[in-house]
Amino acid sequence: MVNFSQVSHFTLGAYFDPGPLRWLYFVIILSVYVLIVLSNLLLIVVICLNKTLHEPMYIFLCSLFINEVNGSTVCLVFIAYQILQDVHTISYNLCFLQIFLLYSYGGVNFTNLAVMSYDRYVAICFPLHYNTHMTLRKVTCLIVVAWLSVFVAVGITIVLTASLKLCGNIMDSVYCDNYLIIKLACSDATVNNIYEVAAATVFVSIPVLILFTYVRILQVCFSGSMDMRHKALGTCAPHLLSVLNFSFGCSFQIVQSRFDMNSINRVMGILLTLYFLTVQPLFSPVVYGLKMSKIKDLCKRLLFLSIKR
């Protein structure tokens, strides 16, 4: 038995020896990370530099892109480094920091998508009141609440888990997971489990609330003119696709960490684990850049000027 005071590091047991493919995996993960950073930063720069995009919808998008970069950086750089190591360990403190940043990424993504759905709801269902309702002050408050509320909730999770006595230090994962640490506990984890259930309930309710909002938006759209339908669907489709894609990735990660998934090929299991850390940050710039004409036109203009120079 390992006493909690003796646990100075955790071993990440999901890693395996890739043999001669080690450098190939490393280059692939690093390339994906660079692509994520560059694509999201491009849209952040486009939104920040163009005053025509200084509207609530694009400000929320900028917040989303910043979070995508943060989420990818949390794990992909660490995983690329771990692939090159023979011993796959992480220190106790760094493990909890990784959990905080990882859970914050997931939470902020959902809260950000929630305020974006609210913005679209006001814009489409109450267009005459949009400018007076969605002021810069209110937009700023919504973004601060979206980030801060998640930080507080995740912070409570970390404090509760860090207080547990541990009887092991091996996690079957490629990065630290709060639930897997709770499974290593040899002290009473009732409070942790209750808080986890409460957090999971909120986690499930947010995408449900977002989808309900878009159902209401679509009802208003289809009761209006054809032009209104096309315009509304053009701005809502990317948000809906993001919600569905990210919900799928997070749901699989939760299922994988809580149930026996040994029947899945180990490499496939790792790829699916990394789904919401790689596909969503790659997905968002593409879907918003292609679906939203303002962003698409400004990106083309910016890239054209860069090439011309």
157 burial type by CB count under 10 A (0-12 exposed, 13-18 middle, 19+ buried): buried
Query: Over the stretch 119-163, which tens digit does the pLDDT of each residue have?
Result: 988 888 888 888 888 898 999 999 999 999 999 999 999 999 998
* Predicted local confidence at residue 4, as pLDDT: 45
Question: For the chain, what is the mean pLDDT?
Answer: 82
- Helical ranges in the chain per DSSP H: 22-49, 56-83, 92-125, 130-133, 136-162, 178-183, 190-222, 226-258, 266-273, 275-291, 293-308
Instruction: Name the residue with higher pLDDT: 257 or 276.
Output: 276
Confidence of residue 64 (pLDDT cuts 50, 70, 90): very high
| Nearest to 65, CA basis, from 274, 234, 288, 236 | 288
* Predicted local confidence at residue 263, as pLDDT: 60
Confidence of residue 258 (pLDDT cuts 50, 70, 90): low
> Mind listing the domains of the chain with CATH numbers?
4-308 (1.20.1070.10)
Query: Over the stretch 272-290, which tens digit does the pLDDT of each residue have?
Result: 777 878 888 888 888 877 6
| Nearest to 153, CA basis, from 116, 190, 99 | 99
Query: Over the stretch 216-237, which tens digit does the pLDDT of each residue have?
Result: 887 777 776 677 667 667 667 7
* Predicted local confidence at residue 198, as pLDDT: 86
Query: Over the stretch 79-131, which tens digit does the pLDDT of each residue have?
Result: 888 888 777 889 999 999 999 999 999 899 989 999 998 998 888 888 888 88
- Angstrom distance (rounded) from CA 117 to CA 216: 11
